[in-house]
């Protein structure tokens, strides 16, 4: 196992990683910006190093400072968490050159999945069902029209370097494809410095269902079931649940087996997520994330497997502690992302938490680095915590979530807690009959 792990992140995920390290008896190093001196992950780590001013580019994204912190403290591994440097292939390369273990997949796997065209071709080759569309980048109108005619309208044009919804354009018919192609290319070029785009059949009302996978880097790989992340606003997930209300056991096993085999075929190492759109009972691959995700706790709750511990084991060469037959899914879990934002306008609400009372009791988990008196800095993502509940059935899980939301008090700032209190009594949420557009429509209907 590692001698010392440096956590190159902040907030609740830094704390989450720290907890796994502590349970494994691994000393930890927290790095932080000057804005995060009083953060909980800094207080709880064995050592901490200030790596720069508040702006992320000067601190949490500053590879030189993070490397220096490793040298000073003697850390032999870095966990990147999510966001920041977690899917930066160059960072993984640099760590390798310095004999520091990147707790994540190989730089090559990060690179392949970072290019959505390569990712899709790789997925297809590995037997994963993909959205019908172009095999490669599209530059010419004639080519775009030929592909679109073949797959049928509407089509969507996406940036190869995109993800997270940026640089997408829908074309409803041949008359609008030329403009969609050119707009998508110029937006992609401006946003990512890469104007490569590709075309897919546009799915009008899918669900977003993703499969958690884990590889041992030696041809072993498993799946840990799916998460339904259809409830999103502006490509930000708001509430996630596992299992998906749309899937039955046979459907789960079928897509899970496909994903596990793909991970084995790739020789993938560590945790990953294979993202799908799901419509009319069919799965269509869109992207693969090569990191631990924000919503990983709901998978942990239904499998009782510590995903960060498994990441640490795999990266250190100890191998996974579980085989596929040890992954037994029980019950249902839901996560609410608590953001320091106004619940209706979603305007960020940094400031001091004057009173804090998190919920507790059976099946309730709160992953958060905040505490009473903590001042949320204005420089970073507004996620301040996650409320995760687990119960034997989805119905019991929703009842437990309502109860936990009633107990949760965060005063002094605005949070998204009131939004969740509304959502958990909504008939569509209770029935589980929502798609990727449901939340935006719901918010629009409540606005007037
Ligand atoms: C799509 C799609 C419909 N058809 N692809 C948005 C983010 C990016 N990761 C993929 N996205 C979409 N790709 C095809 N072929 C609709 C979306 C989409 C979406 C996907 C997941 C969750 C929320 C979404 C909201 C709007 C659009």
Which of 10, 111, 227, 291 is labelled catalytic?
Answer: 291
Would you say the CB of residue 436 lies under 6 angstroms from ligand 1?
Answer: yes
Q: Indicate the top mutation candidate among 120, 164, 168, 233 to test ligand 1's pocket, ranked by most ligand atoms within 8 A of CB.
A: 168
Measured CA to CA in angstroms, residue 298 lies from 34, 85, 108, 287 at distances of 32, 23, 28, 20
Average pLDDT over residues 272-289: 98
Looking at the predicted structure, is the pLDDT value of residue 28 above 80?
A: yes
The minimum-distance atom of ligand 1 relative to the CA of 287 is 9
CA dist., res. 433 & res. 124, Å (int) = 29
Q: How far is the CA of 161 from the centre of ligand 1 (A)?
A: 15
| Shortest-distance Cα residue to atom 23 of ligand 1 | 436
Q: Token digits for 92?
A: 């993984």
- The finding on whether 438 has its CB within 6 A of some atom of ligand 1 is no
Kind and range of the H or E element at 232? strand 221-233
Q: Name the pairing type of β-strands 332-339 and 383-391.
A: antiparallel
Contact 252, 212 (CB under 8 A): no
Cα of 230 vs centre of ligand 1, distance in Å, is 10
User: Is the model's pLDDT at 418 over the cut of 80?
Assistant: yes
In this prediction, residue 420 carries a pLDDT of 98
**Beta-carbon count within 10 A of 248 CB:** 11
Asked if 121 and 135 count as a contact pair (C-beta separation under 8 A), the reply is yes
pLDDT in tens, 219-228: 999 999 999 9
Rounded Cα distance, 417 and 338, in Å? 6
The 3-class SS string of 173-214 reads CHHHHHHHHHHHHHHHHHHHCCCCEEEEECCCCCEEEEEEEE
Helix (H) or strand (E) holding 21: helix 11-23
Query: Of 138-147, 155-164, 277-286, 425-434, where does mean pLDDT reach its minimum?
Result: 155-164
Beta carbon of 286 within 6 Å of any ligand 1 atom:
yes
Q: How many CA atoms lie within 13 A of 284 on its CB side?
A: 17
Confidence band, pLDDT 50/70/90 cuts, at residue 413 = very high
Give the number of the atom of ligand 1 that is nearest the alpha carbon of residue 284: 15
For residue 448, name the pLDDT band (cuts at 50, 70, 90). Answer: confident
| Ligand 1 atom nearest to 201, measured from its CA | 15
* pLDDT reported for residue 281: 97
Would you list the DSSP string of 394-423? Answer: HHHHHHHHHHHHHH-EEESS--SHHHHHHH
Whether 5-103 and 207-447 share one fold: the answer is no
> Tell me, what's the pLDDT at 385?
98
* 3 state DSSP class of 74: coil
Q: Best of 161, 202, 206 to mutate for ligand 1, by most ligand atoms within 8 A of CB? A: 206
Q: Would you state the pLDDT for residue 148?
A: 97
Q: What percent of the chain has pLDDT over 90?
A: 98
- pLDDT given for residue 164 in this prediction: 72
State yes or no: pLDDT of 1 exceeds 90. yes
Distance CA 312, CA 268 (A): 15
pLDDT for residue 106 is more than 90: yes
What stretches of 28-114 adopt beta strand conformation (E)? 28-33, 47-52, 77-79, 101-102
Residue 165 pLDDT level (bands cut at 50, 70, 90): confident
Residue 314 vs residues 21, 43, 110, 271, 442: alpha-carbon distances, Å: 14, 27, 16, 9, 42
> Whose Cα sits closest to atom 6 in ligand 1?
165
- How many Å apart are CA 420 and CA 69, to the nearest integer? 39
Is the pLDDT score of 174 beyond 90?
yes
The tens digit of pLDDT for each residue in 296-334 reads 999 999 999 999 999 999 999 999 999 999 999 999 999
Distance 165 CA to ligand 1 centre (A): 6
| 240 Cβ below 6 A of ligand 1 | no
Q: Is the dihedral of CA 19, 23, 24, 26 positive or negative?
A: positive
Q: What is the pLDDT of residues 180-195, one digit of tens each?
A: 999 999 999 999 999 9
291 catalytic? Reply is yes
Sheet holding 169-171, edge to edge: 169-171, 155-159, 197-201
Ligand 1 contact, 238 CB (< 6 A): no
The domain limits of the chain are 5-103, 132-201, 207-447
Q: Indicate whether 167 pLDDT > 90.
A: no
Give the pLDDT band (50/70/90) at residue 203.
very high
Q: Is the CB of 235 under 6 A from ligand 1?
A: yes
Best CATH choice for the domain 5-103 from the list 2.60.40.10, 1.10.10.60, 3.40.50.300, 3.40.50.20: 3.40.50.20
Segment 1-19 mean pLDDT: 98
pLDDT at 166: 78
Cβ of 131 less than 6 Å from ligand 1: yes
The mean of the pLDDT values for the chain is 97
For residue 119, report the distance from its CA to the centre of ligand 1, in Å: 16
At residue 384, the pLDDT reads: 98
What's the average model confidence in pLDDT over 32-41?
98
**Residue 122 confidence (pLDDT):** 98
Q: How remote is the CA of residue 219 from the centroid of ligand 1, in Å?
A: 31
Q: Which fold has domain 132-201?
A: Dna Ligase; domain 1 (3.30.1490)
Provide CB contacts within 8 A for 97, sequence distance 6+. none
**What is the token pair recorded at 419?**
């939004």
Q: Is 165 in the pocket of ligand 1 (CB under 6 A)?
A: yes
Expressed in angstroms and rounded, the spacing between residue 435 Cα and the centre of ligand 1 is 11
Interval between CA 189 and ligand 1 midpoint (Å) = 20
**CATH code reported for the domain at 207-447:** 3.30.470.20
Nearest to 91 by CA among 63, 55, 56: 63
pLDDT at 163 (0 to 100): 74
- Contacts with 288 (C-beta within 8 Å, 6 or more apart), sequence order: 113, 119, 123, 272, 273, 274, 275
């Amino acid at each position: 196992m590692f001698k010392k792990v440096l956590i190159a992140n902040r907030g609740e995920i830094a704390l989450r990683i720290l907890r796994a390290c502590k349970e494994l008896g691994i000393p930890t190093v927290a790095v932080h910006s000057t804005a995060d001196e009083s953060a909980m992950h800094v207080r709880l780590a064995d050592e901490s190093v200030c790596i720069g001013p508040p702006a992320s580019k000067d601190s949490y994204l500053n590879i030189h400072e993070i490397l220096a912190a490793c040298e000073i403290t003697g850390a032999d591994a870095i966990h990147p968490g999510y966001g920041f440097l977690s899917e930066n292939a160059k960072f993984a390369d640099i760590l390798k050159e310095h004999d520091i273990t990147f707790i994540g997949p190989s730089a090559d796997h990060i690179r392949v999945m970072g290019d959505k065209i390569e990712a899709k071709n790789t997925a297809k080759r590995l037997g994963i069902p993909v959205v019908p569309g172009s095999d490669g980048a599209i530059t010419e109108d004639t080519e775009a029209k030929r592909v679109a005619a073949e797959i049928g309208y509407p089509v969507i044009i996406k940036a190869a370097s995109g993800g997270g919804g940026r640089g997408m354009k829908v074309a409803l018919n041949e008359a609008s494809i030329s403009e969609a192609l050119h707009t998508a290319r110029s937006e992609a070029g401006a946003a990512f410095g890469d104007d490569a785009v590709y075309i897919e059949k546009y799915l009008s009302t899918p669900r977003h269902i993703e499969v958690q996978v884990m590889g041992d880097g030696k041809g072993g790989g498993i799946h840990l079931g799916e998460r339904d992340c259809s409830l999103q606003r502006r490509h930000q997930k708001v509430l996630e649940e596992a299992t998906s209300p749309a899937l039955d056991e046979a459907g789960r096993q079928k897509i899970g087996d496909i994903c596990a085999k793909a991970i084995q075929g790739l020789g993938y190492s560590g945790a990953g997520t294979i993202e799908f759109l799901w419509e009319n009972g069919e799965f269509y691959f869109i992207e693969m994330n090569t990191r631990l995700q924000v919503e990983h706790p709901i998978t942990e709750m239904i499998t009782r497997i510590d995903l960060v511990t498994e990441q640490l084991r795999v990266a250190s060469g100890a191998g996974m502690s579980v085989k596929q037959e040890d992954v037994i899914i029980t019950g249902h879990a839901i996560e609410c992302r608590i953001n320091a934002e106004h619940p209706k306008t979603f305007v960020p609400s940094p400031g001091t938490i004057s009173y804090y009372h998190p919920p507790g009791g059976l099946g309730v988990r709160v992953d958060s680095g905040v505490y009473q008196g903590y001042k949320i800095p204005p420089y970073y993502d507004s996620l301040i915590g996650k409320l995760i509940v687990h119960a034997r059935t989805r119905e019991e899980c929703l009842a437990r979530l309502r109860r936990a939301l009633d107990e949760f008090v965060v005063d002094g700032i605005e949070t998204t807690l009131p939004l969740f209190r509304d959502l958990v009594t909504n008939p569509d949420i209770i029935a589980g009959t929502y798609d990727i557009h449901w939340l935006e429509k719901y918010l629009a209907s409540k606005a007037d």
